[in-house]
Structure 1
Amino acid sequence: MSDGWTYLNAGERAQVPERVSSAVSRAFRTAPLQAHTEMSSGSHSRAQVPGGAVGAQITASARLAVADLVGGRPDGVVLGPNRAVLLHTLSTAMSRQLRMGREVVLSRVDDPANIAPWLMACDLYGAHVRWAEADLSTGTLPEWQYGDLVTPDTALVAVAAANAHVGTVTDVAAVAREVHRRSRGWVVVDATAYAPYRVIDIDAWEADVVAVDLAPLGGPEIGALVFRDPTLPAQLKLMDAARGRHATVDVEAEAERRLRALEVGGHAPGLLGGVPAAVDHLANLDDAASGTRCRRLEESLPKAESYMHVLAQHLVHGLQSLRGVHVVGLDGEFDEPFSYDSVERIPRVSFMVAGLDAATVGRRLVANNVIAQVVPLEDSALLDQMGVAEQGGAVCVAMSPHNTAYDVDHLVRVVAGLV
């Protein structure tokens, strides 16, 4: 970055690549325009239907980009302002599934965006809530507990692929296998923290729905839900998708209507124009990557994460060398702290400084041109259970590909001046 600031807050507000801002600007200009229609020729050519706007093409491109990001299908993509709004709409539409006598399993490692909508829906429709608990020494979510939590009455299991603040990764595939073995419930995975660092494969995860926000990727303020089976929404109850009493049921058409009904309020094509650019940015992090966008993501993301993983290790070593600094999920009650690689993590690190609340630490960092995320006490059930609230909160560092070892050293030097 050339503005003199050190940005280590990608989880809260990622920097926007130039190609994304340019794409958004271009989309805002062109979305209202009429799409150019090529004349068809030959007896086997398909005549294009005139009258479409460029905005419709932009929306279709955004769906395709999100599908490539998670390994899904474009016809299973629902777009909206953010994942919290989309998950709220989805939970409201699941009145049949979340009725009294059914159960929902939530986890403590999730953000409020994947907890609050389900709690509200269960309170409204009568389903019973059960909780998957984290290992408070590391912040991991043990998958074995789902064998006890999931029953034939389980309607839905919501889980995060990775914790946004501690960085611990959940074995989503193991959780989903247990859920599908014991019930007919849906598995809804929040992949927002995971997506900037690792390849998502919705089929390998066996997730029924994947939720993701594009802003942490450097994209616009857009969220998406991706259904692994695009016909799954046919089970939802949506007022906007009502059909005639005696209408013939076409499962695929019904699912399509209900998918679109989840997109309450329509789209902002100008913002959607930045979605393909954001996914392309991730796919092109490795200049040597080639092939389709999915193939380039598979090549680029592991290399980028390996680089950021080294930076996170360097940060942890630096912070652990300072007396009075506690790295959440790594510095337990034992004489020796845990290794950063003791559990699987994405490059996110949260820490506390003895005698100072997180807001004070954040202000001191800003005074030295370092931007990190001060985690509000209500934003993480996991941090609350790990005792962070008692210490006045935590500061979270989220790595991005543009970060360097100098950025990490700068933050450690500033923190060293506080202890």
Structure 2
Amino acid sequence: MAVFDVAAVRDQFPALAEGAAHFDGPGGSQTPQVVADAVAAAMTGAIANRGRNTPAERRADDIVVQARAAMGDLLGADPGGIVFGRSMTQLTYDFARTLAKDWGPGDEIVVTRLDHDANIRPWVHAAEAVGATVRWLEFDPATTELYDVADVLSERTRLVAVTGASNLVGTRPDIPAIAARVHAAGALLYVDGVHLTAHASVDVRAMGADFFACSPYKFFGPHCGVVAASPDLLASLRPDKLLPATDVVPERFELGTLPYELLAGTTAAVNFIAGLGTVVGDRRARILDSMATLEAYEHGLLTLLENGLDGLGVTRYNRAADRTPTVLFSIEGRESADVAKALAERGVNAPAGSFYALEASRHLGLGDTGAVRAGLAPYSDHTDVERLIDGLR
């Protein structure tokens, strides 16, 4: 594994020239120039509805095919099962409504207190609409580790929705172990991988996720959403769609014309990630090497950040054994919103809130206001960490 050249990476992000130290990546990463260029090229070149007759039609079709292939490589998934949408939230609502067509009274759906609300409320609403029961998997507020999913499974369980990594405290549940138990109960597993995908190698098939949702704008791409599933599973589902719209998988799940420029940017983002390592090979191999390099780099920076915070005596809530480089903390006697504002005045972007992980924030005793979150990204460096610690001091 090569030494990670963070200075070279930072040079590729125009936004960093403004001078802020960005710890706001969990809400959306900054964008490298190559992604912006890809979006602009798609919007300024001739483009039309997908087809193979004219150059404009072929350009649109190629953009979609290339984006599915790129996301398949990033997630270790079949490109034929990659579904694009406006956002992860929108896609999850769509899949919840579609799956709920086969649910009814007596069926049970499991959600967790650890999740972002986008992987809770769509399932709660869908269950309520058909009279199914919602069961909650809790987590230990002292460690932020999920309890055993077996405690909430039964022969009536139809689906379990769980995060691949908490966007609030970074906890990474053991998804393969959860998947084995869920499938043994005869249920489906829907994984929110929005936060995980930015920080770890993903292999959807190996982890056992039936559905894996993520958002390219969390890993250098444009604002859109992705769900990966097997084509066979998608073919068994009947989503609501317009009558003349194609019934082909995965297109039957994509409402309206796709945003070609955003898909072009998504492919560019995946290619950017693939270029961060040193391995020579196919794109999947390069992605795995890059993500291993990034994980090692971010882990070292996380240790520096956590040691600095602990030295200041702040209350830190990220305690899981396996976690992303995401720190949630508060300062006794200070409102977290005021802390975030004071940091912003010093050019340090570390926002405060519950960040839509409302159930988790409440379960931690932080109510709806949450705490300050500092998330590391591949373009973060030790000077950013020093600026955060100095600002807090």
Fold match by TM threshold 0.5: yes
Structure 1 partner of 2:142? 137
Distance across 2 between alignment mates of 1:373 and 1:81: 24
Structure 1 partner of 2:149? 146
Tell me whether 93-102 or 114-123 shows the greater mean CA deviation.
Answer: 93-102
Asked if residue 18 in structure 1 is aligned to residue 33 in structure 2, the reply is: yes
**Alpha-carbon offset, residue 206 of structure 1:** 1.1
Asked if residue 261 in structure 1 is aligned to residue 252 in structure 2, the reply is: yes
Q: Deviations over 1:130-165 (max 9, x none)?
A: 1111111121113xx222311121111111011112
**Alpha-carbon offset, residue 99 of structure 1:** 1.6
Structure 2 partner of 1:335? none
Asked if residue 159 in structure 1 is aligned to residue 136 in structure 2, the reply is: no
Structure 2 partner of 1:408? 385
Tell me whether 374-383 or 261-270 shows the greater mean CA deviation.
Answer: 374-383
- Contact 2:337-2:351 within 8 A present in 1 as well: no
Distance across 1 between alignment mates of 2:328 and 2:56: 52
Structure 1 partner of 2:280? 290
Structure 1 partner of 2:5? none
Q: Deviations over 1:159-178 (max 9, x none)?
A: 10111121111100000000
Structure 2 partner of 1:344? 322
Distance across 1 between alignment mates of 2:94 and 2:177: 27
- Contact 1:196-1:217 within 8 A present in 2 as well: yes
Q: 1:242 to 1:321 in 2, by over 3 A?
A: same
Q: Match of 1:292, as an amino acid? A: D
Q: Give the alignment of 1:72-87 within 5 angstroms.
A: 72-87=77-92
Asked if residue 328 in structure 1 is aligned to residue 331 in structure 2, the reply is: no
- Contact 1:31-1:270 within 8 A present in 2 as well: no
Q: Match of 1:280, as an amino acid? A: N
Structure 2 partner of 1:6? 21
Tell me whether 61-70 or 378-387 shows the greater mean CA deviation.
Answer: 378-387
Structure 2 partner of 1:206? 208
Q: TM-score, normalised by structure 1?
A: 0.85
Q: Deviations over 1:5-58 (max 9, x none)?
A: 111111012100111111111111225169997xxxxxxxxxx99883311211
Provide the alpha-carbon RMSD of the alignment.
2.3
- Structure 2 unaligned segments of length 5 or more: list them: 1-15
Residue of 157, 160, 172 corresponding to 1:169: 172
- Contact 1:219-1:274 within 8 A present in 2 as well: yes
Residue of 93, 101, 104 corresponding to 2:106: 101
Query: Structure 1 residue runs of 4+, over 6 Å off?
Result: 34-37, 48-51
Distance across 2 between alignment mates of 1:235 and 1:21: 37
- Contact 2:168-2:373 within 8 A present in 1 as well: yes
Q: Match of 1:167, as an amino acid? A: G
Identity %: 29
- Contact 1:152-1:182 within 8 A present in 2 as well: yes
Residue of 277, 289, 308 corresponding to 2:268: 277
Q: 1:406 to 1:147 in 2, by over 3 A?
A: same
Structure 2 partner of 1:178? 181
Q: TM-score, normalised by structure 2?
A: 0.91
Looking at CA atoms only, which structure, 1 or 2, has the larger radius of gyration?
1
**Count of aligned positions:** 378
**Alpha-carbon offset, residue 97 of structure 1:** 2.9
